[in-house]
Chain A
Amino acid sequence: MIIYQELYIIYFISALLFMISIKSLSSPQTAILGNNLGISGMTLSVLATLLVLPTRNDFGILTAGGVAAFLGILWANKIKMTNLPQMIALLNGLGGLASVLVASAELERYTIYSADLVIGIIVGSIAFSGSMIAFLKLSNKLNIFAFFIRTRHIINTCLALAILILSIEFALKANLFTAYFLILACFAFGIGITISIGGADMPIVISLLNSLSGFAASAIGFSLVNIVLIITGAIVGTSGLLLARKMTQAMNRSFLQLFFSNEKETIQNQTNEQYAKTGSPEDAAFLMQNANSIIIVPGYGMAVAGAQYALYNLMNLLETKYHVKVRFAIHPVAGRMPGHMNVLLAEAKIDYNKILSLDEINADFENTDIAYVIGANDITNPAAKSDSSSPLFGMPVLDVYKAKTVFFVKRSLNAGYSGAQNPLFFADNTLMLYGDAKDVTNEIISYL
């Protein structure tokens, strides 16, 4: 059938567009083009499919798509940039869910065993339920039951076994009920493996889940013999995996540690006796206006407080009024999704030439008068270099301690997400500024 051959060519063109789209996203100059190419590829393949396939229910499809388009556009326009990570997690989960639904629809028609469908179901379901948990955690709507934390390894092992048994059962005797039990077991497993992950590990989990929903689409492509699904899913899948791996490297952890590490005990008691010096915003303002150079180190606390605009004002005042050189240092895993800090600083219109990565700026802390650490903790912990008993040992950190004076904006002296106490709080050249990241920054500005 010639018409199907043409559809095939269009699918291939769409897949190429997606490749160029992702490639274009590697530099700021071509990034917008990348997004547009992605939209073009999607439009092309959807339109071609609608025109070629003998759809009997155009009305249903257009309604479902139209309502989703309306809701999606409305919602994506309304959401605040600070809430981006949870929005991306949720959208990703819906993609995974769509893969599971397609697989179920196929099984409803012909209940026969096919390995690609089973893989699609397993991967898609885990991507869905895992993303939902990530979404709930990121929006602070989830409290984990202590019972689950202690027994989760046992529960997860049981669930993994159940998935294996149900898959074999389905392979031996294709039965719709088995398939639906399999989906339920995978949902539970997805919840089980993501529920105890949080904090600084979130960026890694989000990109892993993103990768899973890509691979799920690819598996569906195998069963539908659809080339655009296979290629696109594979590209999204590997790119997510690679991004996650880059981040685990930045934290000196492995994927296994991420999922199987034991619950972190908060190790605080031994150092709490030490004395941390408290500074005032007035002191900070005075030191800042007399400094030559300042490096600002933002973390998740900045995102929570929405302090990026205050930081812009601070930077602007210091540069124009006092001629201080202000720069930003971003650790690869700062925030709750990859590149989180960069987006927020961009939102506040901070010039991206001033925003430097770990490798670019780490040597400069030595010649810096003030390091202003705002809402970050573990990524500055010098124990990662010196103390082999620290849970952070081996993770590359920003050498904030080398700056002449360090200001730490924090709510308390509590340990970071890793559970490690930060010896920097008690260092001679560190002054703590207690309070909300935004309020403290605005107070400093008021003294300038």
Chain B
Amino acid sequence: MTTTFLASIFILSCFIGYLIIESVTPALHSPLMSVSNAISGIVIIGALSTAAYANGFNAEEIISLLGVFFASLNIFGGFVISWRMLKLFKKRKQK
């Protein structure tokens, strides 16, 4: 797979990101940011694969595991906090 191909995927994704965010209501800006923040924890996949290819317990392995740790914190913390926020918005709707 060439860099050109990856670059075109990147550019298309940027365009999609632009389109899906355009119509969001200001009231939901906080949860939106919080969810996208949690989603950026996807870098955990990177940490998992570097951990997988490490040769034994060396610097590469330790650094990867730290990466797994911080990315998971970002993911779990981010989704829980978004869920708490969204629950607040939901309650009002039922009234």
Flag whether A386 is at the interface (Cβ < 8 A). Answer: no
CB under 8 Å from chain B, chain A span 16-39: 18-19, 21-23, 25-29, 31-32, 34-35, 38-39
Question: When the two chains form their complex, are residues A31 and B17 in contact, meaning their CB atoms are under 8 A apart?
Answer: no
Q: What separation, in Å, do the CA atoms of A60 and B54 have in the docked complex?
A: 12
| Contact pick for B20, options A26, A39, A226, A338, CB 8 Å | A26
Flag whether A362 is at the interface (Cβ < 8 A). Answer: no
| Contact pick for A338, options B6, B17, B30, B80, CB 8 Å | B30
**Chain B residues whose C-beta falls within 8 Å of the C-beta of A141 in the assembled complex:** none
Separation in Å of the A344 CB from the closest CB of chain B? 9
Q: What separation, in Å, do the CA atoms of A71 and B37 have in the docked complex?
A: 17
CB under 8 Å from chain A, chain B span 2-30: 3, 6, 9-11, 13-18, 20-30
Interface of A is mostly: helix
**Chain A residues whose C-beta falls within 8 Å of the C-beta of B73 in the assembled complex:** 68, 71-72, 91, 94
Q: What separation, in Å, do the CA atoms of A98 and B57 have in the docked complex?
A: 19
Separation in Å of the B60 CB from the closest CB of chain A? 4
Q: What separation, in Å, do the CA atoms of A220 and B91 have in the docked complex?
A: 39
Number of residue pairs across A and B with beta carbons under 8 Å?
365
Least CB separation from A351: chain B residue: B92
Binds B, one of A51-59, A316-324, A387-395: A51-59
Which has the most chain A C-beta neighbours within 10 Å: B45, B63, B68, B69?
A: B45
Question: When the two chains form their complex, are residues B84 and A77 in contact, meaning their CB atoms are under 8 A apart?
Answer: yes
Question: When the two chains form their complex, are residues B46 and A84 in contact, meaning their CB atoms are under 8 A apart?
Answer: no
**Chain B residues whose C-beta falls within 8 Å of the C-beta of A13 in the assembled complex:** none
Least CB separation from B59: chain A residue: A108
Q: Mark A117-158, 1 if CB is under 8 A from B, else 0.
A: 000000000000000000000000000000000000000000
Question: When the two chains form their complex, are residues B20 and A22 in contact, meaning their CB atoms are under 8 A apart?
Answer: yes
| Contact pick for B42, options A42, A242, A346, CB 8 Å | A42
Separation in Å of the B67 CB from the closest CB of chain A? 4
| Contact pick for A19, options B16, B35, B56, CB 8 Å | B16
| Contact pick for B36, options A22, A54, A72, A349, CB 8 Å | A22
Q: Mark A229-256, 1 if CB is under 8 A from B, else 0.
A: 1111111111110110000000000000
B residues neighboring A (CB under 8 Å)? 1, 3, 6, 9-11, 13-18, 20-54, 56-61, 63-93, 95
